[in-house]
């Protein structure tokens, strides 16, 4: 399918089942964190999937590329109009418009029609609290990396509302914010069930992945880390 590309855009291969994605050098570009999140999350049959803070759509599309036979329906929620529009064209590029829908809406404003809807929600959120971290960022990068338009607390609250009972929420975050992630999950009745770190060989972890289950029983499995 022929897709019109804007200035700064190019098509990149995911090297999985022929899936491709459009990226723009002038907007926020995905990192390996998003790919590792899709490898941490586990797929079940007939998943009704949501990708919160979806950016260019990398998490939803990469998870689909890993598990194409399991996805029944997928929704991408992204607050930045330019990224949402670009992800729509990536979906068209892959002929997935019958499976994926993009919503240009803040996570905390997702409509009630999605309450108790999803079996799995994935999220690669902004890592930095507002006011922390690198200052010389583009507006797109600042929104994607800093909690200026949505907070961790708001994301987890929305995940609980939108998951059906027994649904899973998988999130990536900085390793030093693990306590924040676990506390937010418990606050909104998502029971932490799995944790996995990412770390360079012989170095401390820099990234953490956590899975919470709506209505799950207590008990956390700490898995062997990604060496990244």
The pLDDT tens digits of the residues spanning 34-57 come to 999 999 999 999 999 999 999 999
User: What is the residue-wise DSSP string for 58-108?
Assistant: HHHHHHHHH-TTTEEEEEEE-S-HHHHHHHHHHHHHTT-TTTEEEE-S-GG
The whole-chain average pLDDT of the chain stands at 93
Higher pLDDT, 29 or 198: 198
Residue pair 107/52 in contact (Cβ under 8 Å)? The answer is yes
The pLDDT tens digits of the residues spanning 128-182 come to 887 665 655 678 888 888 888 899 999 999 999 999 999 999 999 999 999 999 9
The pLDDT of 119-129, averaged and rounded, is 94
- Report the DSSP beta bridge partners of residue 50: 75, 121
Collapse the DSSP code of 48 into the 3-class scheme (helix H, G, I; strand E, B; otherwise coil) and give the result.
Answer: strand
**Rounded distance between C-alpha atoms, residue 225 and residue 50, angstroms:** 25
């Amino acid at each position: 399918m022929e897709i019109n590309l804007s200035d700064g855009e190019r098509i990149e291969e995911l090297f999985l089942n022929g899936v491709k994605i459009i990226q723009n050098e002038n907007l926020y570009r995905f990192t390996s964190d998003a790919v590792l999140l899709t490898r941490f999350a586990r797929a079940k049959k007939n998943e009704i999937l949501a990708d919160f803070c979806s950016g260019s759509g990398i998490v939803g599309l990469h998870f689909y590329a890993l598990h194409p036979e399991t996805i029944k329906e997928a929704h991408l929620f992204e607050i930045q109009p330019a990224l949402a529009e670009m992800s729509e064209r990536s979906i068209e590029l892959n002929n997935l418009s019958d499976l994926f829908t993009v919503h240009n809406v803040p996570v905390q404003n997702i409509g009630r029609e999605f309450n108790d809807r999803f079996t799995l929600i994935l999220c690669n959120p902004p890592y930095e609290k507002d006011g922390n971290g690198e200052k010389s960022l583009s507006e797109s990068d600042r929104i994607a990396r800093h909690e200026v338009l949505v907070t961790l607390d708001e994301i987890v609250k929305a995940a609980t509302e939108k998951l059906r009972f027994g649904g899973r929420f998988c999130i990536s975050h900085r390793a030093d914010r693990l306590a924040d992630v676990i506390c937010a999950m418990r606050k909104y009745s998502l029971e932490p069930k799995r944790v996995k770190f990412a770390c360079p060989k012989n170095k401390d972890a820099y990234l953490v992945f956590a899975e919470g289950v709506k209505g799950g029983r207590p008990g956390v499995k700490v898995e062997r880390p990604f060496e990244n």
